[in-house]
């Protein structure tokens, strides 16, 4: 068998024994794969395979997708029948969980829209920062191979690296960072951080794109869970919409709740609409954010969930990450730009089934 080194890494990463979910993977102890077939995928015959193949071809512009699928990226462009190509060349492996307290979950995110100004003036008083000049990012994988996906963020104090300022500290400090522009709502700015990318429209009608560039190194903490824990919103009613409504009714407590999440995101101005961690423009309902500790960025997945009260079963590409996306059967679907995308994303919380589609010829 001619396995190259990269494929062996992927194989070891995912599969202890592809036929059984009982093989514990030491590197990712909550992830198991069970070999399946396309016939077992929910409603796979109803999939728009032309769109699915186009999504794969687009993702092949990234080096991470090319490394996983190699010559299949080239061959996909010459495929005359998208369904035959995908079903003949790939094998679905269901991603399952074992002895895990985490539930399967699909959520949604969108490209945010804010109002802004290039100069600070009422009501545009909340700055959107670029990455601070004194933020130090240490790639731990450069020294320790087993930590290749981990980075330490902090700042220098003398010859020591200490934690960077948290959200509350950053809001009272004069930050050593360029300001892209100012916006009129600290709540909208917070949700821009959660979404990771957005558009800012100025009073003259001009619009700029901005996207995630870095963050302060503090762990993401859900303000929704916080509001549930303190009894302000019930678990059944928690959503982006209910959180915003609570803020409107409790303006004096906005900082209290926002500061619960010590993580803070910094941005860069972009020439294009929302992009993910692979640097590719995200495709609505075809791009998902995943936890790269469990699912490699650039991989092709088959997703089954309920979105906006409709059953959705389709091929998606793992093209993004997020601080709140943790676990093996966990994904965040990009839903696009506009009020409808925001509305659906804000309410989306669905049980999820995921399969990873891996090259058939290399598995057998």
Are 22 and 94 in a shared domain? yes
- 211-236: pLDDT as tens digits: 999 999 999 999 999 999 999 999 99
Q: Is 304 inside a domain boundary?
A: yes
Per-residue pLDDT, 19: 43
Confidence of residue 318 (pLDDT cuts 50, 70, 90): very high
Res. 4: pLDDT tops 50: no
Helices 240-249 and 186-195 cross at an angle (nearest 10°) of: 160
Q: Which is more confident, 360 or 73?
A: 73
Per-residue pLDDT, 14: 45
Integer CA distances (angstroms), 61 to 54, 73, 130, 189, in order = 11, 9, 27, 31
Identify the domain boundary among 144, 159, 176: 176
Are 70 and 136 in a shared domain? no
User: Rounded to the nearest 5°, which phi and psi values hold at 152?
Assistant: -100, 130
Per-residue pLDDT, 6: 43
- Is 137:151 a contact under the CB 8 Å cutoff? yes
Are 11 and 90 in a shared domain? yes
Q: Is 65 inside a domain boundary?
A: yes
Per-residue pLDDT, 141: 65
**How many angstroms separate the CA atoms of 247 and 257, rounded?**
9
What three-state secondary structure class fits 50?
helix
Q: Is 226 inside a domain boundary?
A: no
Per-residue pLDDT, 20: 41
- Residue ranges making up the domain that contains 72: 5-103+290-318+350-363
- 89-136: pLDDT as tens digits: 999 999 987 655 567 999 999 999 999 999 999 999 999 999 999 999
Q: Is 341 inside a domain boundary?
A: no
Are 41 and 87 in a shared domain? yes
H or E element that contains 171: none
- 134-152: pLDDT as tens digits: 999 987 766 666 666 677 8
Are 97 and 140 in a shared domain? no
Are 99 and 138 in a shared domain? no
Are 33 and 74 in a shared domain? yes
Beta strands in the chain (DSSP E): 32-35, 90-96, 105-117, 126-129, 136-139, 151-157, 160-162, 179-183, 197-202, 207-215, 265-270, 287-289, 300-307, 310-320, 330-337, 353-359
Confidence of residue 361 (pLDDT cuts 50, 70, 90): low
Mean pLDDT (whole number) for 252-271: 96
Residue 289 sits at the vertex; the CA angle it makes with 22 and 96, to the nearest 5 degrees, is 15
Are 10 and 69 in a shared domain? yes
Average pLDDT, the chain: 88
Identify the domain boundary among 147, 176, 205: 176
User: Rounded to the nearest 5°, which phi and psi values hold at 59?
Assistant: -70, -25
Integer CA distances (angstroms), 279 to 58, 128, 162, 211, 274, in order = 11, 21, 30, 10, 9
User: Rounded to the nearest 5°, which phi and psi values hold at 124?
Assistant: -90, 85
* CATH of residue 30: 2.40.40.10
Categorise residue 265: left if φ over 0, alpha if ψ from -120 to 50, beta otherwise. beta
User: Rounded to the nearest 5°, which phi and psi values hold at 54?
Assistant: -60, -40
Residue with tokens 């070999």: 35
What three-state secondary structure class fits 31?
coil
Per-residue pLDDT, 32: 81
Residue 49 sits at the vertex; the CA angle it makes with 44 and 53, to the nearest 5 degrees, is 130
**How many angstroms separate the CA atoms of 25 and 48, rounded?**
34
- 22-60: pLDDT as tens digits: 333 343 455 688 899 999 999 999 999 999 999 999 999
Q: pTM score, two decimals? A: 0.84
Per-residue pLDDT, 287: 98
- 161-189: pLDDT as tens digits: 999 999 999 988 889 999 999 999 999 99
- 323-359: pLDDT as tens digits: 889 988 999 999 999 999 999 999 999 999 999 999 9
Per-residue pLDDT, 98: 61
Considering its fold, how many domains does the chain have in total? 2
Q: Is 33 inside a domain boundary?
A: yes
Q: Is 166 inside a domain boundary?
A: yes
Per-residue pLDDT, 21: 40
**How many angstroms separate the CA atoms of 314 and 53, rounded?**
11
Q: Is 326 inside a domain boundary?
A: no
Q: Is 332 inside a domain boundary?
A: no
- 262-271: pLDDT as tens digits: 999 999 999 9
Name the DSSP class of 282.
P
**How many angstroms separate the CA atoms of 213 and 215, rounded?**
7
Q: HSE-up of 332 (CA within 13 Å, CB side)?
A: 24
Are 17 and 98 in a shared domain? yes
Identify the domain boundary among 122, 155, 176: 176
Per-residue pLDDT, 276: 93
Per-residue pLDDT, 102: 62
Are 11 and 95 in a shared domain? yes
Res. 191: pLDDT tops 60: yes
Are 46 and 92 in a shared domain? yes
Are 81 and 152 in a shared domain? no
């Amino acid at each position: 068998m001619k396995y190259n080194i990269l494929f062996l890494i992927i194989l070891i990463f995912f599969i202890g024994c592809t036929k059984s979910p009982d093989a514990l993977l030491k590197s990712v102890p909550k992830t198991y794969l069970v070999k399946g077939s396309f016939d077992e995928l929910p409603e796979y015959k109803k999939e728009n395979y032309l769109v699915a193949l186009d999504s794969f071809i687009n993702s092949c512009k990234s080096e991470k997708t090319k490394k996983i699928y190699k010559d299949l990226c080239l061959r996909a462009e010459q495929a005359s029948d998208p369904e035959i190509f995908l079903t003949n060349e790939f094998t679905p492996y269901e991603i399952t969980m074992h002895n895990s307290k985490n539930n399967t979950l699909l959520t949604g995110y969108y490209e945010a829209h804010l109002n802004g100004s290039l100069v600070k003036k009422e009501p545009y008083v909340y700055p959107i920062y670029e990455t601070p000049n004194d933020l130090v990012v240490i790639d731990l994988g450069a020294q320790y191979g087993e930590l290749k996906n981990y980075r330490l963020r902090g700042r220098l104090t003398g010859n020591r690296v200490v934690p960077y300022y948290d959200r509350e500290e950053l809001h009272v400090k004069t930050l050593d960072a360029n300001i892209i522009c100012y916006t009129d709502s600290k709540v909208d700015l917070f949700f821009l951080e959660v979404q990771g990318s957005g558009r800012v429209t100025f009073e003259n009608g001009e619009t700029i794109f901005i996207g995630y560039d870095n963050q302060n190194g503090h762990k993401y903490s859900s303000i929704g869970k916080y509001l549930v824990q303190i009894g302000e919103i019930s678990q059944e009613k928690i959503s982006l919409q209910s959180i915003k409504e609570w803020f409107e009714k409790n303006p004096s407590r906005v900082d209290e709740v926002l500061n619960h999440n010590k993580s803070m995101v910094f941005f860069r101005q972009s020439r294009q609409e929302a992009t993910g961690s692979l640097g590719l423009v995200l495709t609505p309902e075809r791009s998902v954010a995943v936890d790269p500790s469990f699912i490699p960025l650039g991989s092709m997945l088959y997703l089954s969930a309920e979105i906006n009260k409709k059953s959705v079963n389709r091929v998606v590409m793992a093209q993004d990450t997020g601080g709140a996306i943790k676990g093996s059967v966990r994904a965040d679907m990009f839903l696009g730009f506009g009020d409808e995308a925001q509305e659906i994303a804000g309410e989306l919380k669905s049980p999820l089934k995921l399969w990873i589609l891996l090259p058939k010829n290399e598995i057998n």
